[in-house]
């Protein structure tokens, strides 16, 4: 499927982004092992979170839709999951595969996790290695580095583990395994990553302590209390509108009900550094997560260096920030971001290649990108490489470029923002 995007007229209006993908996965998985019913409002119905729900159903978990975005989950309790009768297909979702590998490593049965061609090419040694240290029997393709993963779970012991790469997925996998392990499990991270698992587990009654680069969880002896919550809007989805409105000459856009968890707001910090006119209104909390409306207006952006501990806090927004760099005044460098190469596509390579097709001069580096702006983007034919974040970045780029942009493989947005093109149409008059 392809789509034509034209330069957008004045941008005015309010956008309600989809529910946060990371929080939705966790709300489903953690409630599945709690004891009792939970109601989760604004659950994100993108393909990734639906993959998690289908895997949970194969593990014996009952869930139903109460309405379009309200999920009711019947928790099976700490020891209530059952051996799946089929392979668990995580499709395109790294979060599904890595979080479930931690949970399944602790279950007294056999399971197999697989995914689509992109996910089967992404690094899984990073979860296999520490789970084995905990005593798990877990094997993977290609010398235990890739999925499919075969897991014969149970009998874990807690470990103290220093994550070699900052990854919330790996951290969460170990915390899930740690709930079932003898003694305590301590995970240290080189830089802070999203802490949704920790926040939720604390409310559910787990023995967990976190802060200052380390999380400690103890074996869960009692049952976890289900957590009913309203999932906040996804800042990674909102980022498309933040970048589009900040770069557009005539824009004022409100994005309502967005998660402003400090482990996720790197994109706000980066755009502020670049001089964007963005502010928060109506700050409040939804369950464990801080939420706000974000208002963004046309801005004159200048280049910035984005690296260090900003990287894990803005990891999924970096293609959009590279685009912002192309249109900002001066040099923008994204560095220490090698992790981008391990995402749904090699996002350093695909971002550079597609921005170049739009006429930008982009320097690709081993650990990131460098661009000098402001540059003129000209409509052209580009491709998402089947990567949802690339598809959305290219939609924004098309709305800012001169002439018409044809984007190939636009269906990729279904992974996290199924109605992205409709929102772009409404906001930008496509």
CB of 25 to ligand S3P, least distance (A): 6
Tell me if residue 131 falls in helix, strand or coil. Answer: helix
Name which of 421, 332, 411 is nearest 371 in CA terms. Answer: 332
Q: Annotated catalytic residue: which of 316, 346, 387, 423?
A: 316
Concatenate the DSSP letters of all residues of 161-225 into one string.
EE-SS--HHHHHHHHHHHTTSBSEEEEE-SS----HHHHHHHHTT--EEEETTEEEEE---SPBP
List the one residue from 101, 118, 167, 384 that touches ligand S3P (CB under 6 A).
167
Binding mask 245-284 for ligand S3P (x = CB under 6 A): ----------------------------------------
316 in contact with ligand S3P (CB under 6 A) = yes
Q: With binding defined as CB under 6 A, does residue 31 bind ligand S3P?
A: no
**Helix (DSSP H) and strand (DSSP E) numbers for the chain:** 14, 23
**Residues 177 to 206: which contact ligand S3P by CB under 6 A?**
194
Among 24, 101, 169, 220, binds ligand S3P (CB under 6 A): 169
Report if residue 315 touches ligand S3P, rule: CB under 6 A. Answer: yes
Region near ligand S3P per CB under 6 A, out of 11-19, 148-156, 164-172, 349-357:
164-172
Q: 207 and 217 in contact (C-beta within 8 Å)?
A: yes
- What residues form DSSP beta bridges with 157? 182
- Structural contact between residues 395 and 388, judged by C-beta atoms closer than 8 angstroms: no
| Partners of 16 in the β-ladder | none
Contact map string, positions 122 to 161, toward ligand S3P, x by CB under 6 A: ----------------------------------------
Beta-ladder partners of 150: 112, 139
Least distance from ligand S3P to the Cβ atom of residue 220, Å = 20
Closest to ligand S3P by CB, 22 or 44: 22
| Pairing label, strands 305-306, 330-334 | parallel
Q: Note if 316 is an active site residue.
A: yes
Site size toward ligand S3P (CB under 6 A) is: 10
Task: List the one residue from 22, 265, 350, 409 that touches ligand S3P (CB under 6 A).
Answer: 22
* Dist. CA 80–CA 420, nearest whole Å: 37
Beta carbon of residue 20, minimum distance to ligand S3P (angstroms, whole number): 9
**Measured on CA atoms in the order 192, 194, 199, 201, is the torsion positive or negative?**
negative
Residues 56-95 that bind ligand S3P (CB under 6 A): 94-95
Of the listed pieces 167-175, 217-225, 318-326, 371-379, which binds ligand S3P according to CB under 6 A? 167-175
Question: Least distance to ligand S3P from the beta carbon of 175, Å?
Answer: 11
Alpha carbon distance 65, 58 (integer Å): 17
What residues have CB less than 8 Å from 91, skipping those under 6 apart? 47, 48, 51, 115, 116, 119
Residues making contact with ligand S3P (CB under 6 A): 22, 94-95, 167-169, 172, 194, 315-316
Write out the catalytic residue numbers. Answer: 316
């Amino acid at each position: 499927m392809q789509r034509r995007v034209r330069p957008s007229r004045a941008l005015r209006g309010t956008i309600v982004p989809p529910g946060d993908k990371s929080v939705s996965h966790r709300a489903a998985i953690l409630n599945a092992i709690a004891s009792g019913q939970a109601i989760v409002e604004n659950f994100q119905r993108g393909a990734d979170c639906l993959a998690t729900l289908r895997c949970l159903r194969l593990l014996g978990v009952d869930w139903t839709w109460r309405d379009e975005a309200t999920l009711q989950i019947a928790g099976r309790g700490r020891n209530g999951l059952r051996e799946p009768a089929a392979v668990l297909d995580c499709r395109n979702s790294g979060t599904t595969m890595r979080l479930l590998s931690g949970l399944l490593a602790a279950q007294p049965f056999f399971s197999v996790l697989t995914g689509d061609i992109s996910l089967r090419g992404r690094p899984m040694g990073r979860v296999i290695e520490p789970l084995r240290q905990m005593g798990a029997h877990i094997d993977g393709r290609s010398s235990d580095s890739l999925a499919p993963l075969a897991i014969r779970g149970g009998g874990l012991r807690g470990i103290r583990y220093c994550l070699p790469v900052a990854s919330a997925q790996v951290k969460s996998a170990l915390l899930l395994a740690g709930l079932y392990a003898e003694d305590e499990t301590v995970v240290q991270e080189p830089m802070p990553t999203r802490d949704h698992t920790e926040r939720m587990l604390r409310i559910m009654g787990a023995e967990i302590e976190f802060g200052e680069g380390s999380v400690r969880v103890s074996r869960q002896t009692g049952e976890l209390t289900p957590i009913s919550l309203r999932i906040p809007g996804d800042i990674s989805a909102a980022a498309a509108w933040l970048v589009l409105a900040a770069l557009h000459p005539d824009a004022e856009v409100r994005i309502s009900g967005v998660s402003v968890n400090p482990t996720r707001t790197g994109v706000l910090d980066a755009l502020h550094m670049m001089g964007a006119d963005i502010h928060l209104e109506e700050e409040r909390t939804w369950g464990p997560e801080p939420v706000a409306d974000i208002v963004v207006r046309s801005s004159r952006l200048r280049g910035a260096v984005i690296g260090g501990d900003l990287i894990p806090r803005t990891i999924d927004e970096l293609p959009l920030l590279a685009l912002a760099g192309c249109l900002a005044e001066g040099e923008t460098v994204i560095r220490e971001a090698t992790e981008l190469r391990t995402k749904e596509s090699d996002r350093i390579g695909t971002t550079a290649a597609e921005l170049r097709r739009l006429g930008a001069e982009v320097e690709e580096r081993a650990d990131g990108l460098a661009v000098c702006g402001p540059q003129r983007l000209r409509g052209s034919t580009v491709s998402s490489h089947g990567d949802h974040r690339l598809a959305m970045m290219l939609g924004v780029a098309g709305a800012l470029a001169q002439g018409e942009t044809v984007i190939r493989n636009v269906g990729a947005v279904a992974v996290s923002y199924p109605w992205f093109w409709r929102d772009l149409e409404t906001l930008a008059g496509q």
